[in-house]
Amino acid sequence: MFITRLFSGIVLVLIALVTLITGGGLLAAILLFISLVAFHELCRAMRAREELKKIDGLEITGIVCIAAYYIVLYFSADKSIAVMTLTAGIMAFLFVYVIRFPRFHANQVAASVFSYIYAPVMLSFIFLTRDLHYGKYIVWLILISSWGCDTCAYVVGMAFGKTIGNHKIFPKLSPKKSLEGCIGGVAGAVAIGALFGYFFVETVVTEQEVTWVFAVICGVGAVFSQMGDLAASAIKRNHDIKDYGKLIPGHGGIMDRFDSVIVTAPMIYFLARLLMSSALIQ
């Protein structure tokens, strides 16, 4: 199991490297695929469909709206049009609800809209971050704050959790998570972010010292990444499922592997816009 998980993790990192370095259409296409799978997994997990073996009108609406959103996001220079497309998608769910009444229950529609926004829209901030000036550097903070934090939390929790107390912070939600691991994850993300900024970005971004900015962004992002991980776990526990899917061997589904990235991506985008000089990110 460990070898399978390790191999899948290496493949994911390689795909992320190629995709984030390339950006553009490849990044948009990969994010669209991930978003569609995540939407499907969430719909199934939250019982948004009456018959889980069939794709119904709500899921078809979601697929079309997600595709439209990413197409507009990629081709339109005016990002406000993407917001309009997002809003039109929500209206589309309501339209299906009304014309097919009483085929769908209000809870199913609400779950579908949540699934539409939660993963697909929030993951799109990876593209928006990469599209910023110097975004090819800033976008890596998303992975540092999520996957980097997760790795550091695991290592610290295993190494020091039992020796210094192994304090459980959410025993009912995630029994394996310890306070020591959470602190170690945040500290590790801060350190990686600072090292990345100092050795790889300082020489490129000469208009501003970015080491401390990257450290702060990764620290805050790491806190929210753990919240995203726990939120996804809460959804699984609410609906009594172990994994969202089986697409990624050893990891589960897209939602199991990208649960922290989903929340971290918009946080990194907004923090970068807030903490870095406006001249650098326009």
pLDDT (tens digit, 9 = 90+) per residue, 191-234? 999 999 999 999 888 888 899 999 999 999 999 999 999 999 99
Name the least confident of 40-54, 64-78, 111-125: 40-54
pLDDT (tens digit, 9 = 90+) per residue, 101-130? 998 889 999 999 999 999 999 999 999 999
- Confidence at 266, pLDDT banded by 50, 70, 90: very high
Query: What per-residue confidence (pLDDT) applies to 177?
Result: 81
**Looking at this protein, which amino acid is placed at residue 257?**
R
Query: What per-residue confidence (pLDDT) applies to 8?
Result: 77
Asked if the model's pLDDT at residue 49 lies above 60, the reply is no
> Is the pTM value of this prediction over 0.85?
yes
CA angle 176, 31, 4 (to 5 degrees): 45
pLDDT (tens digit, 9 = 90+) per residue, 234-246? 998 888 888 888 8
Q: Which tokens go with 19?
A: 């995709």
Asked if the model's pLDDT at residue 29 lies above 60, the reply is yes
